[in-house]
Structure 1
Amino acid sequence: MTDPAVRVADAQEIASDLLVIPNHGVTLVPNIGVVGGTQAVLVVETGIGTANAERVLAFASEVAKGRRLYLTTTHFHPEHAFGAQVFAGQATYLVNRAQADDLKTKGPGYLEMFRGFGGPVARRLDGVRVPTPDVVYDDGYDLDLGGRIVRLRPTGRGHTKGDQVVKVPDADVLFTGDLAETGQFAIFPWFPPYDTDVSGVRWLAVMDRLAAVGPRVVVPGHGDLGGPQVLTDVRDYLRELREETWRRRDSAMGEAEIVAEVRASLIERHPEWVGQEWIERGVGCLCAEHAAPPAA
C-alpha cells in the first residue's frame, strides 16, 4: 500500500482565506480544509497519524498567524480523525455528538483494524490515541471565525452514524467527508457483525438533501474537488446500487449471485472508477436493509 502521506505543499486556495490540501488520489489520505476568518482558523480533517497531523497543524498555524485555531472532522474514521491528539492544547476540537460517540465506542476497534493493515499504515498509527473532542454539539453548530460563519451540521446516519458536513456559506463551499467521493465507488464500511452502521437507504436520503442545495464547490472526502455534479453523481450511483440490488432480491436470488450481477453491471457503467471492492459491501448492506428497515 502507498504511504498515506499528506502533502501540505500542494495546498490550493479555492476562495479567499480558504485552502484545501488535496489528497491526489492517494489511498487513506483525505482532502483537508483550512478555513480562515479575521479572528480564527478552522482545520477540517487531520490525516492519518501524528506525523501527518503535525504537518497539517504547522501549515494551519502558519496560515493563522496568531489567530485562534479550531479543528473538526467529518467522521471518526482513522484517516480523518486519528491525528487529533496533536492539536490538543493548540486548537479546540469540536464535533457532533454521534461522531463523538463513534470515536468512543468504535474508535479503538478501528485503530486496531487499521494497524492490522501493516506496512506504512501501521507505522503512521504508531503512538496514536483515539481522540476526545473538546466541544460536542447536538443539532448544529455555527462557528464564528470573525467575519465568516462556518456551519457544522450532522446529517444523520449514512456512511457512518456520526457523519457531519462543513458548510462555508459566503464561499459556497461544502466539505462532505466520505458521504461523497469522486472517481470511485461509494465506500460502504459494512463489516457484519462488528460494524453495520452504514445505511444505503439513509445515505441516499442524505445525498438527495445535499444535492438539492447545489454548492459552488464540493470538497469530497477523497478525490478531485468539483461542483454540484459531485453530489448528484453519488446520489445517482446509490440509487443505481439500491435498485439493481433490490430488483434481484425481489426475485429471490441468492446474495452471491446478486453481488456478481450487480458488480458486473456497475463496473460496466463506471469502468474508470476505483474501489470496486466496495460494491460487494454495498450490496450486502442493501440486502440487509431490504429485509428490514435500518434502525435509527
Structure 2
Amino acid sequence: MVELVSREPVVRAEEARELAGDLVVLPNRGVDLVPNIGVIGGTRAVLVVDTGMGPGNGDAVFEFVADYARGREIYLTTTHFHPEHAFGAQSFSGAATFLVNRAQADDLAAKGAGYLDMFRGLGEPVARQLEGVELVTPDLVYDDSHELDLGGRVVRLRATGRAHSRGDQVITVPDAGVLFTGDLVETGQFAIFPWFPPHDTDVSGIRWIEVLRKLADEHPRIVVPGHGDTGGHGLLADVRDYLALLRDETWVRRDSAMGREEVVEEVTALMLERHPEWAGREWIEPGVGCLCAEHAQR
C-alpha cells in the first residue's frame, strides 16, 4: 500500500503554462497525488484533461477553465478513474460534457466508491480534499476511439486497453504533436502499479509495455505524463524500458524458482541502484507482485 501523504495535494491553476497555441497545462509541481491537467482549445470549445482530487481542486480547475474558455463550450475527460485524476468531476456538472471510454466508465462505477475509501486512509491532507466527493456518471461514453472537433482543432481520445488500469485512455492533439498519457507515464519516479490483491488486480505490466511501445512509435513532439515534468517522446521509451527491465529481472528469478520475497528484495535493490534519484520506490514491490502473477499465467 502507498505510504501516507503529508503534503496537501492541491492544484495551483495560477501556475498554468502554455505548451502550444491555445493549449496549456496546470503542472503538478512534483506534489504527490496532483496530476498534470490539460486545457485544449479550439474556436468553438475547450477540452479539459483531468480534474485534480476532490471538489476543492475541481472548483479551482473549473474556475480557471471557465475564464480561459471565454464563452466556448466546455468538455471534460479523464485519463483514468483514479481519485486524483477524476474525483473533481462534480465541479463541472451542468456546465460541461463529460466523456470517457467505456472501460473507464465501468471502472468508475465498479471501483470508484472503494478507491474513495482507500484514498481517505492515506492521510489527513488527502481525506480533506475528498470531503464531499460525489461520483459523476459520464455524459458520453465511447468504445475504442473518439474524435472531438473543438473548432479548427480535432482532438483524438483513445482507449488503450488494460495497462495501468483497465480503462486507460490517451488524448492526442495532432496539430500540436501533444500526447496526454495519464499514469501510463511518470517522470522522475517509479511506475505506479495499483496492484492491490484481492481488491484490484487489473493492472498489467505486460500490456503496459506493449501500449508504450505503440505510443513511442507515433513519436509525439510533447508528452504530458500523469505526474512529473513534461518532456519529449523519449519519455515513452524511458518508461517502457524500465517496465521491460522490471519484467525481465522478475521473471528470470521466478524461472529459477526463487521465492517471491527474495525476488522483491533483489529486484528492488537493483532498481534503486539503477535509479537512485527516482521517487516512489514503494511502487517497485507491487510492480514485482503484478509481474510475478503474470509470470505464473504465461
* Bin for the TM-score computed over the shorter chain: over 0.9
Aligned to 2:291: 286
Per-residue deviation, 1:130: 1.6
1:56 paired with 2:70, answer: no
Task: After TM superposition, list the pairs within 5 Å mapping 1:84-95 onto structure 2.
Answer: 84-95=89-100
* 1:241 corresponds to which of 233, 242, 246: 246
Q: Deviations over 1:134-184 (max 9, x none)?
A: 000011100000000000000000000000000000000000000000000
Per-residue deviation, 1:65: 0.2
CA distance in 1, matches of 2:17, 2:115: 30
Equivalent position SS for 1:165: strand
Contact 1:149–1:168, Cα closer than 8 Å, also in 2 = yes
Task: After TM superposition, list the pairs within 5 Å mapping 1:156-167 onto structure 2.
Answer: 156-167=161-172
Which structure 2 residue ranges, 5 or more long, are not aligned? 1-5
1:276 paired with 2:246, answer: no
Equivalent position SS for 2:188: coil
Aligned to 2:3: none
1:35 paired with 2:40, answer: yes
CA distance in 2, matches of 1:152, 1:100: 14
1:267 paired with 2:265, answer: no
CA distance in 2, matches of 1:182, 1:139: 27
Q: Deviations over 1:257-278 (max 9, x none)?
A: 0000000001101111000010
Aligned to 1:199: 204
Task: After TM superposition, list the pairs within 5 Å mapping 1:1-296 onto structure 2.
Answer: 1-293=6-298
Equivalent position SS for 1:130: coil
Contact 1:111–1:130, Cα closer than 8 Å, also in 2 = no
CA distance in 1, matches of 2:103, 2:150: 24
CA distance in 2, matches of 1:31, 1:112: 23
Per-residue deviation, 1:132: 0.8
Of residues 122-131 and 101-110 in structure 1, the stretch that sits farther from structure 2 once superposed is: 122-131
CA distance in 2, matches of 1:214, 1:274: 26
Counterpart of 2:65, as a letter, is: A
Per-residue deviation, 1:118: 3.2
In the superposition, the TM-score normalised over structure 2's length comes to 0.98
Equivalent position SS for 1:110: helix
Equivalent position SS for 1:171: coil
In the superposition, the TM-score normalised over structure 1's length comes to 0.98
Q: Deviations over 1:72-108 (max 9, x none)?
A: 0000000000010110001000000000000000000
Per-residue deviation, 1:131: 1.6
Identity %: 68
Task: Say what the alpha-carbon RMSD is for the aligned residues.
Answer: 0.6
Counterpart of 1:103, as a letter, is: L
Equivalent position SS for 2:217: helix
The number of residues matched between the two structures is 293
CA distance in 1, matches of 2:216, 2:120: 35
Per-residue deviation, 1:234: 0.2
Counterpart of 1:242, as a letter, is: R
CA distance in 2, matches of 1:77, 1:122: 15
Counterpart of 2:234, as a letter, is: Q
Per-residue deviation, 1:116: 1.8
Per-residue deviation, 1:19: 0.2
Equivalent position SS for 1:150: strand
Per-residue deviation, 1:120: 1.1
Counterpart of 1:174, as a letter, is: L
Contact 1:180–1:220, Cα closer than 8 Å, also in 2 = yes
Counterpart of 1:215, as a letter, is: P
Counterpart of 1:248, as a letter, is: R
